[in-house]
Structure 1
Amino acid sequence: MVYKYIEIVGTSPTGINEAVNNAFKEASKTVKNIQWGEMGRVTFRLDENQQVEYQVEVRIGFKIERAD
């Protein structure tokens, strides 16, 4: 078997867990066979109203399938 990984950033206005879940939800729309994930750097940004947006780097691993 061969695996590949991608790195994406999930965001959320409510917390880190939701940011990670959002990353996996979006990735699963176009990536098949997701097998694992790893959380990386966690950051945040403040908008003009000083509201926090959480940002989490997520590494997503998936199995490569050959098209025969």
Structure 2
Amino acid sequence: MGVLKSDHVYKLLQITGSSSRSSDNAVEAAFEKASATVKNIEWFQVTETRGHTEGGKVLHWQVTLKVGVRVED
């Protein structure tokens, strides 16, 4: 049986996703795009949510994330 490694070091990236559908969709868009080019993403934290409104309706969401990327041994 292998030894479990629980101590990790992470690099933080900040990314922003956008969507006309929802804040959740903006998070998913940001995460999916980042995952295509960055490996070892292990967690994220939403740090800011904002949007564009017009005529009393939300037209667009922007969500900024801190993304934890595990630094390889």
Which TM-score applies when normalising by structure 2?
0.77
Equivalent pairs, count = 64
For 2:44 and 2:58, the matched residues in 1 are separated by: 28
In the TM superposition, what whole-angstrom CA distance separates every residue of 1:23-44 from its partner, at most 9, and x where no partner exists? 1000001110111000011111
Gaps of 5+ in 1: none
Q: After TM superposition, which residue ranges in structure 1, 4 or more long, deviate above 3 angstroms?
A: none
2:47 counterpart of 1:44 = no
Residue-by-residue CA offset, 1:8-53 (whole Å, 9 max, x unaligned): 1110000000000001000001110111000011111248xx7611
**Among 16, 36, 44, which residue is 1:29 paired with?**
36
Identity of aligned residues (%): 34
**Greater gyration radius:** 2
After TM superposition, the score normalised by the length of structure 1 is 0.82
